Amino acid sequence: MATDANGNQIFGRYNVGVHNVGSYQVSGIPWLSGSVLLDLEEQKLEFPMVTKSITIIASGTFGTGHMIVSFVPTGSAASPVPNAHRYMTMNSSEDAYTFNVKAKEIYVSATGNASGIGYECVAELTNIPTASMYTHTGSGISDSA
């Protein structure tokens, strides 16, 4: 237990934050977005608060293209790095994936001669400011193996 200069006990202040369990136990604040991607285009979705979960739903015409969802920029490469486990690939309309993660941003891009790939994003937000969130890096996020 911490004490002040006079020896009085100071109780910890309960606050929202990235490591605060209560911040994730309550229902999330809804956040919706969506757009259409051109071939080799990458869009960054920035959330106003740290997320509790993120759902991406693909729509539109894929042709021979793919939609890539990642937590770091991919550069919208026409041919993503082989064996790079840094992204999720969506191959057809109505594909959907839910990430139960804390994040302040996510990237959506189109590759492989994509023509009019659309997406919708539904996120649950916490009350945690994005300034409190660290940048995602490391194995499976920004490393290529």
Domains of the chain: 12-132 (2.60.120.770)
**Size (the chain), residues:** 145
Reported as a single tens digit per residue, the pLDDT across 93-144 is 889 999 999 999 999 998 877 777 899 999 999 999 999 888 887 777 777 6
> In this predicted structure, what is the pLDDT of residue 31?
97
Stated as kind and residue range, the H or E segment containing 110 is: strand 105-111
Q: What would the pLDDT profile of 26-63 be if each residue is shown by its tens digit?
A: 889 999 999 998 888 899 999 999 999 999 999 887 77
CA distances from 76 to 14, 28, 103, 112 (A): 42, 31, 20, 10
Residue 69: pLDDT above 70? yes
Instruction: Considering only residues 63 and 91, tell me which one the structure prediction assigns the higher pLDDT.
Output: 91
For residue 1 the two structure tokens come to 């237990």
CA separation, residue 61 to residues 35, 38, 57, 67 (Å): 13, 11, 13, 11
**Is residue 21 predicted with pLDDT exceeding 70?**
yes
Cα 103 to Cα 88: distance, rounded to the nearest angstrom: 16
Predicted structure pTM score:
0.81
pLDDT higher for 56 or 79?
56
